[in-house]
């Protein structure tokens, strides 16, 4: 028995020594790890701000290192012409760090996986955050809890407390937000998911109040950093309901909104798919229906896509934002060197024969569904400086478009419009709506832009090798363009 007790005591002593040694080792490494993390964070912040007004950065102010714990202080600086009169805004954070391998906060929750450190961060009160603290009853409105493994993989959670305020410019009510995130060393793999219960914003304008409300927003995103430098994988976002009301206008509401996206690398090119679903659309409290939009992209050259995106972020986007701030229309202004670079990169992009497809754009009402699809394959022309017809023939190798308009759907929309206009005679509304649907079908036949097949109005177009097949009638692209111009004139005369 005594021997067993001695062994048990020895095990405890050895374990305690190992934990103490691990805590000491963590303490000696911590400053270098935090410095690397701040440097990487600033690089990512800088990349995120490319093409946007303002800047932001993080600074490690101090690190007080103890045996089992350390305390770090950070300063986050953000500057934007529209914020604080253009002067920098500084937010201070304190981080109470527990050394590994077994931080006490993790042991208490029976999480016994060894880690380098457990971080408990909180926003501190200063001149820039004191109003925020007042709205959260003097509790830290922003906190974070993270753990970092010895392989420098990180796992954590950020929480924003609920708050609300009202002033002469409007009101803001926020239910709080939680973000969970994880990442491998050097950010090769990232995952994040977040939850927002509700958000209600009201603002005043010269025309009247404008309001926006969101309910039950969730998102899940992340992926693996591919050879392209883009993060590859799935992302999705969901909103239970979103309501917007412009000044003097009825409210528009979207329910069960879902956005999904997928980005992949295939044989040195980027492929992507983006889907938008809206389960229910209402206008002024009256149901319209559901909608879906699906985009697909394939064969986008990685290098040229990155180069063109960089040019847009660094050259085009700042000009567009400056014009919008001045209330002016925007025209891109690029130097001759930038124009030559854009033309060269566009040529590389087109040489990969990119495919762009609007697989589906639909609107479904109570009695019918209409949808539109468009797909095109592109190639690199011998020169961009050539007549339009010759350029089109070389640029677009194939194009397909299909439109189906449901007459019952048109009737549903016409009835809704009549009700919104204040009409109350349901029999008259039904007759008027039927007439609107028949009028659209008749106009399509008169202008020879579509066919009526039962309850549907259909139209199709196929283009390849300078030949356009429009609803079964073949012609050259130039003849098609002239025919469309003539139909536009006819339509304007019929109005």
The full set of domain ranges for the chain reads: 1-161, 388-494
Picking from 159, 160, 95, the residue whose alpha carbon sits closest to that of residue 121 is: 95
Q: How far apart are CA 74 and CA 37, in angstroms?
A: 12
Q: Lowest mean pLDDT: which of 92-96, 143-147, 316-320, 323-327?
A: 323-327
Q: Lowest mean pLDDT: which of 351-360, 378-387, 395-404, 454-463?
A: 378-387
Picking from 346, 449, 356, the residue whose alpha carbon sits closest to that of residue 398 is: 356
CB 231 within 8 A of CB 264: no
Indicate if the pLDDT at residue 383 is higher than 60. yes
Indicate if the pLDDT at residue 359 is higher than 90. yes
Q: How far apart are CA 154 and CA 172, in angstroms?
A: 33
Give pLDDT, residue 111: 65
Indicate if the pLDDT at residue 7 is higher than 60. no
Q: How far apart are CA 445 and CA 424, in angstroms?
A: 32
Indicate if the pLDDT at residue 10 is higher than 90. no
pTM exceeds 0.85? no
Give pLDDT, residue 27: 44
Q: Lowest mean pLDDT: which of 152-161, 235-244, 269-278?
A: 152-161
The number of residues in the chain equals 495
Average pLDDT, stretch 34-58?
Answer: 76
Tell me the percentage of the chain whose pLDDT exceeds 90: 40
Average pLDDT, stretch 23-38?
Answer: 59
CA 479-480-482 angle, to 5 degrees, is 65
Q: How far apart are CA 123 and CA 440, in angstroms?
A: 60
Average pLDDT, stretch 131-158?
Answer: 87
Q: Lowest mean pLDDT: which of 112-116, 233-237, 322-326?
A: 112-116
Indicate if the pLDDT at residue 232 is higher than 60. yes
Give pLDDT, residue 494: 57
Give pLDDT, residue 8: 33
Give pLDDT, residue 164: 92
Give pLDDT, residue 78: 87
Q: How far apart are CA 483 and CA 381, in angstroms?
A: 26
Average pLDDT, stretch 12-41?
Answer: 51
């Amino acid at each position: 028995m005594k021997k067993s007790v001695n062994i048990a005591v020895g095990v405890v002593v050895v374990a305690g020594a190992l934990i103490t040694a691990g805590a000491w080792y963590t303490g000696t490494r911590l400053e270098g790890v935090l410095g690397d993390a701040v440097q990487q964070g600033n690089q990512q912040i800088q990349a995120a701000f490319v093409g946007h007004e303002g800047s932001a950065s993080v600074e490690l102010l101090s690190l007080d290192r103890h045996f089992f714990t350390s305390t770090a202080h950070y300063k986050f600086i953000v500057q934007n012409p529209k914020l604080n009169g253009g002067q920098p805004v500084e937010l201070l954070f304190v981080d109470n760090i527990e050394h590994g391998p077994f931080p006490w906060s993790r042991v208490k929750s029976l999480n016994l996986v060894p880690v380098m450190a457990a971080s408990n961060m909180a926003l501190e009160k200063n001149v820039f955050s004191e109003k925020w603290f007042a709205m959260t009853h003097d509790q830290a409105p922003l906190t974070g809890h993270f753990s970092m493994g010895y392989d420098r993989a990180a796992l954590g959670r950020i929480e924003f407390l609920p708050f609300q305020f009202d002033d002469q410019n409007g009101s803001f009510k926020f239910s709080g937000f939680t973000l969970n995130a994880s990442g491998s060393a050097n950010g090769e793999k990232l995952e994040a998911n977040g939850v927002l219960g509700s958000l209600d914003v009201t603002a005043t304008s010269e025309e009247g109040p404008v309001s926006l409300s969101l309910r039950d927003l969730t998102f899940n995103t992340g992926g693996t950093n591919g050879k392209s430098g883009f993060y590859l994988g799935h992302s999705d976002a969901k909103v239970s309901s979103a309501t917007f009301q412009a000044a003097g206008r009825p409210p528009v509401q979207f329910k069960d909104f879902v956005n999904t996206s997928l980005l992949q690398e295939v044989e040195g090119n980027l492929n992507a798919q983006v889907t938008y679903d809206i389960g229910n659309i209402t206008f002024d409290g009256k149901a319209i229906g559901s909608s879906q939009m699906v985009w697909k992209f394939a064969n986008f050259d990685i290098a040229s896509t990155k180069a063109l995106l960089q040019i847009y972020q660094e050259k085009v986007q700042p000009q567009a934002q400056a014009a919008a701030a001045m209330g002016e229309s925007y025209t891109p202004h690029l130097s001759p060197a930038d124009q030559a670079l854009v033309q060269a990169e566009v040529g590389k992009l087109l040489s990969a024969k990119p495919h762009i497809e609007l697989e589906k754009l639909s609107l479904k009402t109570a009695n019918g569904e209409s949808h539109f699809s468009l797909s095109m394959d592109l190639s690199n022309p011998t020169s961009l400086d050539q007549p339009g017809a010759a350029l089109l023939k070389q640029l677009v190798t194939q194009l397909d478009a299909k439109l189906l308009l449901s007459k019952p759907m048109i009737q549903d929309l016409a009835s809704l419009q009549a009700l919104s206009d204040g009409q109350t005679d349901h029999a008259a509304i039904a007759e008027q709506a039927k007439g609107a649907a028949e009028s659209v079908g008749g106009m399509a036949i008169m202008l020879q832009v579509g066919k009526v097949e039962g309850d549907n109005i259909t139209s199709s177009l196929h283009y390849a090798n300078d030949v356009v097949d429009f609803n079964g009638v073949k012609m050259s692209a130039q003849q098609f363009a002239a025919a469309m111009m003539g139909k536009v004139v006819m339509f304007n005369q019929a109005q």
